[in-house]
């Protein structure tokens, strides 16, 4: 147990050495600040690390992860990350990345109580209900789960677009695109679901907020 923990520091030392060999200024540059172009909202699953699967480096992606990559409007942690990344860091792309084989999505399809997490997963059940005709028509359980993974990503992208943070950025003509991606654990392939949005044009009226009048 201690050994696997100590291994982290040994790995870190090796990583620092290797990184300094490649670019002696790397840590010096990064310590001066960050200007990532991407915000990543992904699943906490240990098998879906944002930097590794996109071949990016520290400094490239601002990251928020939770179980099943959810955008929940009362989640202060998510909202703070979103506000900071859009209004302070000025990210241009927000990526919601789901993954096939997501345990959270699979659990949400069942009826077994797991614990506190049931309340979090209920948001995915709402996605299921919205798309139940399509989902119920898929007989194979794995295929149905995969489709719910995709639909859940798409709904979270739309939930981002419903926030005042994103809508105000668009009103101010900031370049900001929202994307939905899905990652396949079995192949390592990252796929664009082609649901990119950069305006409220296709959104139901009830979600489109007026720009506040600043006194």
Instruction: List residues binding Co ion (CB under 5 A).
Output: 43, 45, 102, 104
Q: How far is the CB of 163 from Co ion (least distance, A)?
A: 22
Number of H helices, E strands in the chain: 9, 5
Q: Is 102 a catalytic residue?
A: yes
User: Which is nearer to Co ion, 104 or 180 (by Cβ)?
Assistant: 104
Nearest Cα neighbor of 69 from 93, 122, 105, 37 is: 105
Q: How far is the CB of 11 from Co ion (least distance, A)?
A: 25
Q: How far is the CB of 106 from Co ion (least distance, A)?
A: 9
Inter-CA distances, 91 with 7, 85, 109, 178, Å: 34, 6, 34, 11
Q: Is 45 a catalytic residue?
A: yes
Residues 126-145 as b/e (b if ≥16 CB within 10 A, e otherwise) read ebbeebeeebeeeeeeeebb
User: Which is nearer to Co ion, 43 or 70 (by Cβ)?
Assistant: 43
CA–CA separation, 196 vs 200, rounded Å? 12
Q: How far is the CB of 91 from Co ion (least distance, A)?
A: 23
Q: Which of the residues 64, 97, 102, 159 is marked catalytic?
A: 102
User: Which is nearer to Co ion, 38 or 183 (by Cβ)?
Assistant: 183
Nearest Cα neighbor of 178 from 76, 165, 187 is: 165
| DSSP H or E run through 46 | none
Q: Which of the residues 64, 99, 147, 179 is marked catalytic?
A: 99
User: Which is nearer to Co ion, 151 or 176 (by Cβ)?
Assistant: 151
User: Which is nearer to Co ion, 45 or 155 (by Cβ)?
Assistant: 45
SS3 96: strand
Nearest Cα neighbor of 120 from 77, 182, 165, 180 is: 77
Active-site residue list: 43, 45, 47, 99, 102
């Amino acid at each position: 147990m201690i050994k696997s923990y100590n291994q982290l520091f040994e790995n870190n030392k090796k990583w620092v050495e290797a990184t300094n060999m490649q670019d002696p200024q790397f840590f010096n540059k990064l310590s001066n600040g960050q200007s990532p172009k991407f915000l990543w909202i992904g699943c906490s699953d240990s098998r879906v690390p944002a930097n590794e699967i996109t071949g990016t480096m520290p400094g490239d992606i601002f990251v928020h992860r939770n179980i099943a990559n959810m955008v929940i409007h009362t989640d202060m942690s998510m909202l703070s990350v979103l506000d900071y990344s859009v209004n302070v860091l000025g990210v241009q792309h927000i990526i919601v990345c789901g993954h096939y084989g997501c345990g959270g999505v699979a659990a949400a399809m069942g009826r077994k109580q797991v614990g506190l997490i049931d309340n979090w997963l209920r948001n995915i059940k709402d996605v299921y209900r919205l798309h139940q005709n399509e989902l119920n028509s898929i007989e194979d359980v794995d295929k149905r789960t995969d489709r719910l993974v995709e639909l859940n990503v798409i709904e979270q992208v739309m939930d981002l677009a419903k926030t005042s943070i994103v809508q105000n950025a668009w009103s101010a003509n900031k370049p900001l695109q929202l994307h939905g991606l899905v990652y396949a654990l079995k192949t390592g392939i990252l796929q664009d679901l082609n649901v990119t949005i950069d305006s409220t044009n296709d959104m139901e009226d009830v979600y489109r907020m007026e720009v506040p009048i600043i006194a």
